[in-house]
Structure 1
Amino acid sequence: MQALLLAGARGSSPLVEELGLTNKSLIPIHGKPMIQYVLEELNCVKGIKKITVVGPPEELKKIKTAVPFSIVPEKGEIMENMLEGFRSFSTADAGPTFILTSDIPLITCKSLEDFIERSLETQADFCYPVIEKEVCEKKYSGVVRTYVRLKEGLFTGGNIFLIDSAIVERTAKKAISFLALRKKPHLMAVKLGLPFIVKFIFKKVSLEDAERRASIIFGVKGKAIISPYAEIGFDVDKVSDLHLAEEYLK
């Protein structure tokens, strides 16, 4: 399979602005850009034959690493960049594609391989990791994350996913329109449907319910993968996250 690493600079984050930089993926940690930690762990993953990075070409070319990767110029927001990456693939690249963001410097080869293995076993079109709150807090005590309460417990989402390349183009428009509603909850509720919203309010939505609803909306088989690795759910969004990453990467 191929891996697509998203490192676009558009839609600058508060952290980037606070540090006076232009791209989160290039934030230095002990003299190395954050994305380099992700690249080096990704390069160790069995089955990855090709790594493509979508982002600013001139900056990415300056990364000093032995990891081979190709560069696709960023085009816009995250979904547009993802599509640009897919469109750069040849017909020989058909099959599952592993997608990651570049702000997860604590990720490990072992955690990535575990997620891929669990995902491939499901034979789903799209797999997304979720991590239990207890797992996250046990490893990264005190770190603030956003959790969603489901029937099985409290979960946070990861920053990676596995997708069948064949479904990307036909689901892209739906995904973009759905993401556009993330700040308009009343319209998103219409998309999700009243029965689902009512179950969610009363904390009756299960992982299976969420999988089923997503599969209906996008017309694909989706699967949530419960990961035992907290690092999959840790991304650098705040200065405190950056300090924790620096501590763990000593």
Structure 2
Amino acid sequence: MDCIVLAGNRENYRSVAREDNKAFLKVGGRSILHIILEELRAVDRVDRVLVVGPKDRLQEEVGTHLVAAYPKPLLFYQQGRNLVENILGTVAASATGVTDRVVMVIPSDIPLITCEELNQFIDRCDMDAYDYVGGITSAHVLARYAPQADQPGVTMATFRLNSGSYRVSNLHLVRPAAVKRADYIRQTYALRYQKQLANIAKMWLVLLGLLWRVPTAPFYFLVAQGARHCEVWGYQRLAKYLSGFVTLSRAEGYISSILGTRFKVVETDFGGAAVDVDNEADYHTISRRFDEWRRMQRRRLT
């Protein structure tokens, strides 16, 4: 299996700490890209690592020595205009002759990812039954990284379902040839910051444009947003009532219809993949507590 590491910095990209590419931010003395490559080294089912972004700078950052010493092929590709171009372009450029191959896709701004979480995610994905599996993490797990009385933390936005609150965890296993309408991935990725009212409105417009294919999807999205905001604003009883209509299976069905593929969600238990570097405050917090959180992750394994 190939793993595509998305290290591009084009469409809708957000700079952090004066760095226009988060893959090069330093955490614990190493770039986030180096941390991710080190964890991927220990994922046996990943046969090749394909890094896409500003190719020359990525190769300079990694260095010829690491590439030569890496235990599996480590290849670099020049980025395209957007997320979907980066994925599909890399798949095409690295073609192995298998037209329906499955690839793992991860971003380059998750310094707390571990090989154990990557392995757990792969173990739980049934790629015979599905063509696209996305990862989620529960709010209960993410609480390990939240602020404490005497320590800063990272508070991640979650979405409320009838079974609990979750966050998309940045892990994807996909058979690109089986996704008929991949451009919707690009659109939703561009609107991923759902704390912003403008992005919520734009997402609503995207869904309204899909009424003919999934007539109830916009109303489902509206109820889901209502449940999430009621939870944030402290109206827990109303949030619980609204979330009773928001089930994971229905969400999976809507996404399958929109993308034209067989979609499934898989939960992982570590949390590192969901803690991404979204802003400067989170970056400084992760940098400050990185070693401590790494020890916490290792303790949970034992």
Which segment is superposed worse, 79-88 or 220-229?
A: 79-88
Q: Distance in 1 between the 2:183 and 2:154 partners?
A: 34
**If the length of structure 1 is used for normalisation, what is the TM-score?**
0.88
Aligned residues: 246
Alignment counterpart, residue 105 of structure 2, candidates 74, 99, 106 = 99
CA distance in structure 2 between the aligned counterparts of 1:113 and 1:196, rounded to whole angstroms: 32
User: Please, which of 170, 176, 185 is the counterpart of residue 175 of structure 1?
Assistant: 185
**Residues 47 and 185 of structure 1, relative CA distance in 2, 3 Å threshold:** closer
Q: Encode CA deviations 1:184-235: one digit per residue, 9 max, x unaligned.
A: 1331341364452465343211111100111111221111111112112111
Counterpart in the other structure of 1:185:
203
Larger radius of gyration: 2
| Equivalence for 2:48 | 50
Question: In structure 1, the residue corresponding to 2:44 is in which secondary structure?
Answer: coil
1:108 aligns to 2:114 (yes or no): yes
Matching residue of 2:247: 206
Q: What residue number does 2:273 align with?
A: 232
Greater mean deviation of Cα atoms: 216-225 or 6-15? 6-15
Aligned letter for 2:157? T
5+ residue gaps, structure 2, are 148-152, 193-198, 227-241, 293-302
Cα distance in 2, alignment partners of residues 22 and 128 from structure 1:
27
CA deviations 1:35-57 (Å, max 9, x no partner) are 11011101211211111100111
Offset from partner CA, 1:69-91 (integer Å, 9 cap, x none): 10110112222212221121214
Shift of 1:151: 1.1
Amino acid at match of 1:224: V
TM-score, structure 2 normalization? 0.74
Using a 3 Å threshold, how does the CA distance of structure 1 residues 149 and 87 change in structure 2: closer, same or farther? same
Q: Tell me whether 1:40 sits opposite 2:38 in the alignment.
A: yes
**1:13 has 2:14 as partner:** yes
Q: Which residue of 1 aligns with 2:290?
A: 248
State the shift of 1:110 in Å: 0.5
- When the two chains are superposed, the root-mean-square deviation of aligned CA atoms in Å is 2.3
Code of the residue aligned with 2:185 in structure 1: it is A
Q: Secondary structure at the residue paired with 1:214?
A: helix
Take 1:213 and 1:98, find their aligned partners in 2: how far apart are those partners? 22
CA deviations 1:131-163 (Å, max 9, x no partner) are 111110034444211111111111111112000
Alpha-carbon contact 2:4-2:49 (below 8 Å) kept = yes
Secondary structure of the structure 2 residue equivalent to 1:158: strand
Whether the 8 Å CA contact 2:83–2:186 is kept in 1: the answer is no
Of the structure 1 ranges 188-197 and 110-119, higher mean CA displacement relative to structure 2 is found in 188-197
